[in-house]
């Protein structure tokens, strides 16, 4: 009898939390043959990334996953063999009590946010005894062998390579989104929070020597684009050109199509945890807009990742990469930083590909979770 898994997701920041848990649930079913229930307290955030899903359904099957509405008034259900609370969300009190009443309690995991900070290695896998006698274990995704790894489907890199190595396949995908890039244009994706340096960067792209086609999935950054263009709110499908820069607003796409978008672009500016990881797998130069925290506490997390990611770069390319990421996240001159990074483009491309290969040499997060469960039996 295959093991049952319950994953609880409380949607806090739009799509990041559900993005991670939906990918994880799908992979556990597709590659490990597990029975997975995904409990979501806001299905309206789930449906855009899973076309065909019903935001009002109490229960629905999507790609083999039993997707459940996490009701405010909890219903009595039998706990699964493995229980994952994503990102420190509080499980329903009735569910926790049902776990405690079992002769053999489930493996209870707290799936933490992704971080490259040094302390993560020491906390990964540590148990946390609860007052009610249960035990919760901290499980940290990460970038080193002493963490839980990153979400990566078994066929992901092969599918990426197939698309990137076929100009026809790439153009066919883009045409399906209504995108017809000018020959020789630099293709850039932008999925970010509001940013005071946006106009500065757009000015640099518009005055650059190479044509640039900026693809912007609908989201919070679109308002800034509209302001830069000096017009009312841009809508999905709108295309505007200023100088060397063409701006196009895309619809929200499924997770698989978002992967293809990242693979199709020459540079990806992303936000949040799920998109951050997927941009790394794209193997292209990238920029991460980290979620802003009070007193700039997020800067330490940003610098911790950069300390890992920059290894192997020449001194000049290292300085350019560091300058670009800091400019975007610390409100510095983005135009100057972009121009400096472009001077080292071939090296940054090779480095991005090498980083993805290094991370792929480690076990993926879903596999690490399954192995952790089996070792606990």
**Three-state DSSP state, 53:** coil
Residue from 17, 66, 257, 347 carrying the catalytic annotation = 17
Q: Are 270 and 191 in contact (CB under 8 A)?
A: yes
- Please name which of 42, 15, 40, 36 lies closest in space to residue 24, comparing C-alpha atoms: 36
Q: Is 117 a catalytic residue?
A: no
Q: Is 6 a catalytic residue?
A: no
- Angstrom distance (rounded) from CA 111 to CA 125: 10
Q: What distances in angstroms separate CA 266 from CA 200, 233, 255, 358, one per listed residue?
A: 20, 27, 19, 20
Residue 73: count other Cβ atoms within 10 Å of its Cβ.
Answer: 6
Q: What share of the chain is helix, strand, coil (3-state, %, to 5)?
A: 40, 20, 40
Residue 246: count other Cβ atoms within 10 Å of its Cβ.
Answer: 21
Residue 263: count other Cβ atoms within 10 Å of its Cβ.
Answer: 24
- Angstrom distance (rounded) from CA 214 to CA 142: 30
Q: Are 95 and 77 in contact (CB under 8 A)?
A: yes
- Angstrom distance (rounded) from CA 106 to CA 170: 45
Task: Report which DSSP code applies to 294.
Answer: G
Q: Collect all residues with Cβ–Cβ distance below 8 Å to 41 and sequence separation of at least 6.
A: 9, 10, 11, 69, 70
Residue from 273, 274, 347, 364 carrying the catalytic annotation = 273
Active-site annotation, residues? 17, 273
């Amino acid at each position: 009898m295959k093991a049952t898994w319950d994953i609880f997701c409380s949607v806090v920041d739009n799509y990041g939390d559900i993005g991670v848990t939906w990918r994880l649930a799908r992979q556990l079913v597709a590659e490990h043959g597990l029975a997975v229930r995904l409990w979501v307290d806001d299905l309206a955030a789930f449906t855009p990334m899973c076309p065909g899903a019903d935001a009002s359904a109490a229960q629905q099957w999507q790609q083999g996953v039993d997707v459940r509405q996490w009701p405010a008034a909890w219903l009595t259900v039998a706990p699964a063999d493995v229980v994952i609370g994503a990102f420190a969300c509080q499980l329903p009190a009735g569910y926790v009590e049902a776990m405690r009443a079992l002769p053999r309690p489930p493996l209870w995991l707290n799936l933490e946010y992704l971080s490259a900070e040094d302390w993560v290695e020491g906390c990964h896998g540590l148990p946390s005894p609860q007052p009610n006698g249960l035990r919760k274990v901290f499980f940290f995704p990460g970038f080193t062998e002493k963490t839980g790894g990153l979400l990566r489907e078994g066929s992901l890199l092969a599918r990426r390579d197939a698309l990137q190595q076929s100009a026809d396949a790439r153009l066919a995908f883009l045409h399906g989104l209504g995108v017809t890039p000018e020959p020789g244009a630099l293709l850039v994706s932008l999925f970010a929070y509001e940013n005071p340096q946006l106009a500065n960067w757009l000015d640099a792209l518009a005055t650059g020597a190479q044509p640039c086609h900026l693809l912007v999935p609908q989201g919070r950054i679109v308002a800034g684009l509209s302001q830069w263009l000096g017009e009312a709110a841009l809508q999905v499908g709108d295309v505007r050109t200023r100088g060397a820069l063409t701006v196009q607003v895309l619809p929200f796409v499924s997770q698989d199509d978002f992967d293809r978008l990242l693979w199709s672009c020459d540079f990806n500016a992303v936000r949040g945890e799920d998109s951050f990881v997927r941009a790394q797998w794209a193997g292209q130069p990238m920029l991460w807009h980290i979620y802003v925290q009070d007193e700039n506490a997020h800067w330490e997390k940003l610098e911790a990742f950069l300390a890992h990611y920059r290894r192997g770069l020449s001194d000049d390319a290292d300085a350019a990469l560091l300058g670009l990421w800091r400019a975007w996240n610390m409100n510095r001159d983005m135009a100057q930083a972009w121009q400096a990074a472009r001077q080292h483009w071939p090296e940054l491309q090779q480095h991005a590909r090498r980083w993805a290969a290094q991370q792929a040499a480690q076990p993926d997060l879903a596999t690490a979770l399954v192995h952790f469960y089996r070792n606990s039996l």
